[in-house]
């Protein structure tokens, strides 16, 4: 029987202590509170955390313009914060290719539950990267997400991520009872698996931004292996419905993808998003063989 992080099983103590021993090696992020050691005001740090900036790397990955949008943070403060952040997190300069190899050794590969799909992906879904599942409606994208929500919690020796899962549902398709059935397949307790899934229903693209900020704070507190957004496009299609809003929709979508990519790199987690294909009405007029497109 596999043992999960935070499991209620009899081996709970052993699992917890083991995770604590590994955490100094695996934790790749510097918490934003370290700014205070170099003279940044605690109230300013709290303002940044309230806007979703919970790590030093998240500050370095953000433009000055965006940081100035944080209420109570002036341009002068942003300059000082970024100067201090660069001293703590040495990622604003070049590294050797060998150093990059060492960084890549920390990348995790988590099984999808399908040997064929794992082989296609080169061993499973990777941490520090975004995996997109796309296809027509009801083709099994959400089912794969449910399976990944279980396999990501498996020990690393079982091709899992040994961490918790953040599941953001934009269409109301998450079914906890399915999670329990999948857990049975792997011989693990369904309730333990559900306890390790942080679930939220997103209703607008702005709400999605808010949930991603909350998830960043949670990832600073506990070990996570996977973040799922099912589906990524549905909220944007509703919030930006007219052709005149396509440009703004694309900009907001690009911003979301950027946030997800940064989260994956900061916390060494896998990002999985689902997307739907749609029919191109003009395809039949131009003799295109397949009128479907993402």
For residue 129, count other CB atoms closer than 10 A to its CB: 14
Residues 96 and 132 in one domain: no
- Structurally, the chain folds into a number of domains equal to 2
Q: Which of 16-25, 83-92, 248-257 has the lowest mean pLDDT?
A: 16-25
Last residue of one domain, picked from the residues 76, 103, 130: 103
Residues 187 and 265 in one domain: yes
Q: Is the pLDDT of residue 140 over 90?
A: no
Q: Is the pLDDT of residue 283 over 90?
A: no
Which pLDDT band holds residue 3 (cuts at 50, 70, 90)? low
pLDDT digits (tens, 9 = 90+) for 6-45: 554 422 222 222 333 344 335 567 888 889 888 898 999 9
Last residue of one domain, picked from the residues 83, 103, 123: 103
Residues 92 and 125 in one domain: no
Q: What is residue 169's DSSP assignment?
A: E
Average pLDDT over residues 111-116: 94
How far separated are the first and last CA of the chain, in Å rounded? 40
pLDDT digits (tens, 9 = 90+) for 157-186: 999 999 999 999 999 999 999 999 999 999
d(CA 180, CA 191): 7
Helix (H) or strand (E) holding 178: helix 176-185
The answer to whether 5 touches 19, Cβ cutoff 8 Å, is yes
Residues 252 and 117 in one domain: yes
Q: Is residue 9 part of a domain?
A: no
Apex 273 CA angle, 271 and 277, nearest 5:
155
Which pLDDT band holds residue 292 (cuts at 50, 70, 90)? low
pLDDT digits (tens, 9 = 90+) for 65-76: 999 999 999 999
Last residue of one domain, picked from the residues 60, 86, 103: 103
Q: What is the CATH number of the domain that holds 193?
A: 3.40.50.300
Residues 145 and 266 in one domain: yes
What pLDDT was estimated at residue 38? 86
The answer to whether 235 touches 204, Cβ cutoff 8 Å, is yes
Q: Is the pLDDT of residue 286 over 60?
A: no
pLDDT: which is higher, 3 or 231 = 231
Of 138, 181, 183, 147, nearest to 167 by C-alpha is: 147
DSSP per-residue codes, 100-135? HHHHHTT--EE--S-HHHHHHTTSSEETTSEEEEEE
The answer to whether 151 touches 110, Cβ cutoff 8 Å, is yes
Full residue range of the structural domain in which residue 169 is found? 107-279
């Amino acid at each position: 029987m596999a043992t999960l992080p935070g499991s209620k099983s009899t081996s709970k103590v052993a699992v917890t202590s083991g995770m604590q021993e590994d955490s100094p090696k695996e934790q790749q992020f510097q918490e934003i509170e370290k700014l205070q050691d170099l003279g940044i005001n605690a109230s300013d740090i709290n303002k940044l955390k309230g806007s979703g900036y919970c790590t030093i790397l998240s500050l370095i990955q953000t433009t000055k313009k965006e940081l100035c949008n944080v209420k109570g943070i002036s341009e002068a403060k942003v300059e000082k914060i970024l100067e201090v952040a660069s001293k703590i997190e040495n990622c604003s300069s070049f590294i050797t290719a060998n150093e990059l190899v060492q960084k890549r050794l920390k990348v995790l590969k988590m099984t999808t539950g399908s040997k064929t799909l794992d082989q296609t992906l080169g061993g499973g879904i990777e941490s520090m990267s975004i995996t997109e599942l796309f296809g027509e409606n009801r083709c099994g994208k959400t089912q794969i997400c449910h399976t990944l929500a279980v396999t990501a919690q498996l020990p690393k020796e079982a091709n899992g991520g040994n961490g918790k899962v953040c599941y953001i549902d934009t269409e109301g398709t998450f079914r906890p009872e399915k999670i329990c059935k999948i857990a049975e397949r792997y011989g693990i307790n369904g309730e333990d698996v559900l306890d390790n899934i942080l679930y939220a229903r997103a209703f607008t693209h702005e709400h999605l931004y808010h949930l991603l900020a909350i998830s960043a704070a949670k990832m600073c507190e506990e070990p996570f292996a996977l973040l799922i957004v099912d589906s990524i496009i549905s909220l944007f299609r509703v919030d930006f419905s007219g052709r005149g809003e396509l440009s703004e929709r694309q900009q907001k979508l690009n911003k979301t993808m950027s946030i997800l990519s940064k989260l994956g790199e900061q916390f060494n987690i896998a990002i999985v998003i689902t997307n739907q294909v749609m029919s191109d009405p003009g395809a039949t007029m131009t003799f295109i063989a397949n009128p479907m497109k993402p």
